[in-house]
Amino acid sequence: MEFVERAGPCRAVEEALADVRAAVTSIVGIGGAGKTALATWAVLRAYYRRAFEFIVSVTAKDRELTATGITALQPGLTSFEALLNSILDVFGYPEYREHDVSAREREVRDLLASARSLLYVDNLETVDDARVIRFLDDLPVGTKAIVTSRLTTVRVSVHPLDLGPLTAEEVVQFIGSLGRVPGFSYVHNLATAERLRIGDAYDGIPLAIRWCLARSRSAAEALASAEGITTLDRRGEELLEFCFRRVLDGLPGDERAVLQVLSLFQRPLPAEALVAGTRLPHFRLLSATESLISDTLVQRLFDADQNDYCYGLLPITRSFVYGQVKREAQLEERTGNP
C-alpha cells in the first residue's frame, strides 16, 4: 500500500520538526488514524535530506489489526533502558550497554548533544515507564524527537499535531491506492460516491476503511459492510477495541463521563446539557471537553440556531462508547436526561 500524502498534515509535521522553539513533535490521534504512516514519512524525508546526523527509531507497538482480528507484536521499546540501548547502538557504542542506568543516560545525553539527532518513538502510549516521558521532556539542546501516541503524553517543549480523519478527497485517493494491493483490485469498481459512503461510515479513519475493504471480496460486499457498521458483529467489535480501548481506559473520570453522555445522543449537545448529564461543575466540564478535543475524540461544532458551540462524537466513536455504557448497570438511565 502506498502512502497517501495528505497535504495539510504533511506540511504541519514538517513545520513542527523545523520549529526551533520545540524539541518534540507529538502526533496525537485515535488508533488507525495514520499517525505512524505520517511520522514515518516525515522521518524518511529528513533522512533523504540529511537533516540529521543520527536518526534513532523505536516502536512500542504491541499489536496490529488485520482482517482476521487483533494480532500481538513484539515491541522494540519496553522500558527506559531499551530506549537508551537503542540510542547507543545507533551511535556505535554498544559496549556502554553494560554500564548502570545513570551512567548510560549520561553517555546518551552527551552523544545526543554532540550531533544533530532525531529520535522517532512510535506508539508512546503503550510505554508504562515514566522515565521515557521524563527523558523526552528534557532532551539535550539541539536534539529533536517525533512521537506518536493516542493520548497527549509529552508536555514540555512540544509542538502538538492532532491528526484528524481523512478528507473526502483523501478518502477517494486512499481507497484508490489500495487497488494496487493483492486482494483489493475490486476497489476500482467503487464509484467516487461509493468510496465516500465507505469513508463516512468509518469516520475517515484509514485503518478502519482498509479493514472494511480487506474483509470484503466485492464492491457490493464492502458497501454492505460499511452500511452495517452500527450493528457490529464480533469482528466489528475488534475494530473498535483496537481503535478506542486504550484511549478510553486511559481517560480521567471527567472526560469519560463526557463521552458517556455524548454517546447517548445522535445530535451534538450544548455545554449546559453536558453539565446536567455529567453533573460536573462548568469549569471542570470545559477542561474535560478541551482535552477530548485535543485527543480527537470529541468534535466542537457551532450551532447557528443556538448561537453557541455544541459537542458531539463521530459515529463509530459513539458506537464504541455506547457499547461500554450499555454494559454498566443504570449508567444509561442515570445520564440519559441532560
The domain that holds 301 is classified in CATH as: 1.10.10.10
pLDDT digits (tens, 9 = 90+) for 237-277: 677 777 777 777 778 899 999 999 999 988 899 999 999 99
258 and 290 share one domain = yes
Boundary (domain end) residue, out of 123, 146, 162: 162
Q: Would residue 324 count as lying in a domain? A: yes
192 and 107 share one domain = no
82 and 193 share one domain = no
284 and 267 share one domain = yes
260 and 200 share one domain = no
What average pLDDT does this structure show over 219-248?
Answer: 73
The region that residue 9 occupies, defined by phi over 0 for left and psi between -120 and 50 for alpha, beta otherwise, is alpha
pLDDT at residue 42 greater than cutoff 70: yes
181 and 147 share one domain = no
pLDDT digits (tens, 9 = 90+) for 113-152: 999 999 999 999 888 889 999 999 999 999 999 999 987 7
- pLDDT of amino acid 19: 93
60 and 151 share one domain = yes
Q: Would residue 53 count as lying in a domain? A: yes
Q: Would residue 287 count as lying in a domain? A: yes
- pLDDT of amino acid 2: 61
25 and 150 share one domain = yes
Question: What is the pTM for the complete model shown?
Answer: 0.78
Find out whether 274 and 262 touch, Cβ atoms under 8 Å.
Answer: yes
Cα–Cα separations (whole angstroms), residue 76 to 61, 73, 82, 176, 323: 8, 9, 8, 33, 33
Identity of the amino acid at 311: Y
Cα–Cα separations (whole angstroms), residue 159 to 21, 102, 155, 298: 8, 28, 9, 21
Q: How far apart are CA 188 and CA 186, in angstroms?
A: 5
CB neighbourhood size of 74 (10 A): 7
Boundary (domain end) residue, out of 113, 141, 162: 162
Query: Which domain, by its residues, includes 29?
Result: 7-162
Number of domain units in the chain: 3
pLDDT digits (tens, 9 = 90+) for 49-80: 999 999 999 998 877 766 666 677 777 888 99
